[in-house]
């Protein structure tokens, strides 16, 4: 199972990002474990300055915007 982390302070876009990932996972029947990372110390560890950012299995794949469903699909099915 993939561990997906959404990094961000909890602003509107972070919630939207989480939503997109959930929907894509459900649609494709992929089991994911989505974690929200909100503490600034933890976000800093990934050297991210633009949120929301997405980390999959400890690899940073995206930062700075809400990803679209097609992009999310390629991450989850890879």
Partner 1 sequence: MFAIFTHFASWLVYDVLALSPDTKLADALHFFVEDTTKIFALLLVMIYFIALIRASLDIERVRDYLARKNRFLGYFLGAFFGAITPFCSCSSIPVFLGFTSAGIPLGITMAFLITSPLINEVAVLLLIGLLGWEFTLLYIAIGMSVGILGGLFLDAIGAERWLQSFAADALKHGQATQQNDDNEDVAQALTMAQRHAFAKEETKDIFGRVWKWVIIGVGLGAALHGFVPDGWIEAHLGDGQWWSVPAAVLLGIPLYSNATGVIPVMESLLVNGLPVGTTLAFCMSTVAASFPEFILLKQVMQWKLLAILFVVLLFAFTLVGWFFNFIPL
* Residues at the contact surface with partner 1, assessed by CB under 8 A: 9, 11, 13, 40-41, 43-44, 47-51, 65
* Alpha-helix runs per DSSP H in 1-78: 12-27, 40-45, 69-77
| Rounded least distance, CB 40 to partner 1, Å | 5
| Rounded least distance, CB 47 to partner 1, Å | 7
| Rounded least distance, CB 65 to partner 1, Å | 8
Residue 32 or 53 with smaller CB distance to partner 1: 53
Cβ atoms of 74 and 2 closer than 8 Å: no
């Amino acid at each position: 199972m993939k561990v997906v982390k959404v990094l961000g302070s909890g602003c509107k876009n972070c919630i939207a990002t989480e939503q997109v990932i959930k929907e894509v996972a459900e649609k494709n029947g992929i089991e994911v474990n989505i974690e929200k990372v909100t503490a600034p110390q933890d976000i800093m560890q990934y050297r991210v300055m633009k949120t929301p950012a997405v980390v999959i299995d400890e690899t940073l794949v995206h930062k700075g915007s809400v990803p679209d469903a097609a992009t999310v699909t390629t991450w989850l099915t890879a």
